[in-house]
Amino acid sequence: MMKVDFEKVYDTISWSYLEDMMRRMGFSDIWIKWMRACIFNSSMSILVNGSPTVDFKVGKGLRQDDQLSPFLFLIAAEGLTRMILQFADD
């Protein structure tokens, strides 16, 4: 028996891991380039007392309101599934 805790998983997904998984799953270079442009190379700011801060780069995680995030989470989860199945066969 095994339990996996996915709490705050969107906050902690590594972008390099996602890119590696996309390559392993056979995603084309152009698709990965699009993902880099949309997700990995983005910046954001937060509101403090109603005013936005200076933009900053984010190094990991997925935006919770982004329509691509569930899809990218499934790619990350596929890697976990493969690891679990590999060890389950041992």
pLDDT, tens digit (0-9, with 9 covering 90-100), for 33-87 = 998 888 777 777 889 999 999 988 877 788 777 888 888 888 988 888 887 887 7
Q: What is the pLDDT of residue 54?
A: 92
Q: What is the pLDDT of residue 1?
A: 67
- State the total domains in the chain: 1
Q: Long-range pairs for 40-49 at CB < 8 Å and ≥24 separation?
A: 40/15
Whether residue 23 lies inside any domain: the answer is yes
Structure confidence at residue 90 (pLDDT):
61
- What's the pTM value of the predicted model, to 2 decimals? 0.69
pLDDT at position 49 is 93
Query: Dmax over Cα atoms in the chain, in whole Å?
Result: 55
Contact 72, 13 (CB under 8 A): yes
Which domain does 78 fall in, by range?
A: 12-28+63-90
Whether 57 is covered by a domain: the verdict is no
Residue 89 is assigned to a structural domain of this protein: yes
